[in-house]
Amino acid sequence: MERVKYFLVCLIVLLFFLSGCGKEQQFTPPGSSQSIAVISQLKKASFSIVDLQKKKIVSSVDLKHPLTDLIQINKDVIIATSKEGKSLIEINLKKGTATDYMDVNKGLTTLTYDTASNTLFVADSEKNVVYFIDTQRKKIKATVKTDKLPSSMTLSSSGTLFVLNAESHTVSVIDIEKEENIRTISVLERPSGIHFDGQSIWIGGHGKPGSLNKSIFAYDAKTGKQQREIKLGVMPVAFFSERNSSTLYVLCHGDHTLYKVDTKTDKQLASVETGQNPNYIAADTSSIYVSNLDDNSVSVIDKHTFMMKNRLNVPYGPYAIMLEEKK
């Protein structure tokens, strides 16, 4: 009888140990001088680390759930969201580990980070809220209500968080110091992608059911009135711009094309074709990276010539991209 008890105790301890270890995945940390891209994959719950000089995958890590967004909070740590899992994921580039960061809720879609206050903003599409997370204490310090299905966010330098709500086709304007929603702006139906240029909120999207939107729209951040419209390609879904620049890069996944736009003149400057079903855009000092969900690739576009210069082969539906550039 004593031997049976001893066996059961040992088994419980072993199971507890294994369940704890199962939460951490290990990979080979990238070199200190290695420029890399961390890329989530939606068709398989995983992410890959790509050496940008050698143009090849150096690590692939399997997870419990696909990752929807990535943000770097310091030189070693990337935080990721998942719609299916309750926990944020921490990817530690120095330790070479992927592990649970903290439990929040299911339905997490997107995030952004304020370095001044060490605050991580996380959108929850099930509860329709944004969490303000203190990354030094790993605690939620505020929860702010949004409209239905917060899907993307952008943070202004003056401390305003703009949250795009896909189902209610609105933008929630949140004062991060007061930790409250101060106004709501109505935008086009089935919106996708958001960018703030210091004065205007730029929105793309699919448009009304039965018709395909081919424009991006600028809305006054204070009054909510539509100011301008720039006609581009089919279904613009994502934006990228350098700080204090009037050059705006717009990704249209309906015609798998990246557009370069001058927001001062409202003119299209250039365009380049990407891969099939592009969804996510990131950039470093010399290149723009576009993930192509349906042909398992990432397009690398030269900023200066605005021509395709490389194609990274990334399997299982590449989506979110986080770049770590070493000079």
pLDDT by residue (tens digit) across 151-186?
A: 999 999 999 999 999 999 999 999 999 999 999 999
Q: Is 249 in contact with 233 (CB distance < 8 Å)?
A: no
pLDDT by residue (tens digit) across 94-148?
A: 999 999 999 999 999 999 999 999 999 999 999 999 999 999 999 999 999 999 9
Confidence of residue 13 (pLDDT cuts 50, 70, 90): very low
Percent of the chain with pLDDT over 90: 88
Q: What is the mean pLDDT of residues 265-270?
A: 95
Q: Which has more confidence, 15 or 197?
A: 197
Q: Is pLDDT at 74 greater than 50 in this prediction? A: yes
Q: Is 316 in contact with 41 (CB distance < 8 Å)?
A: yes
pLDDT at 244: 83
Count CA atoms closer than 13 A to 125's CA, side-chain side: 21
Q: What is the mean pLDDT of residues 55-84?
A: 96
pLDDT by residue (tens digit) across 305-315?
A: 999 999 999 99
27: Cβ contacts below 8 Å, ≥ 6 apart:
49, 59, 60, 61, 96, 97, 98
Mode of pairing for the β-strands spanning 46-51 and 139-145: unpaired
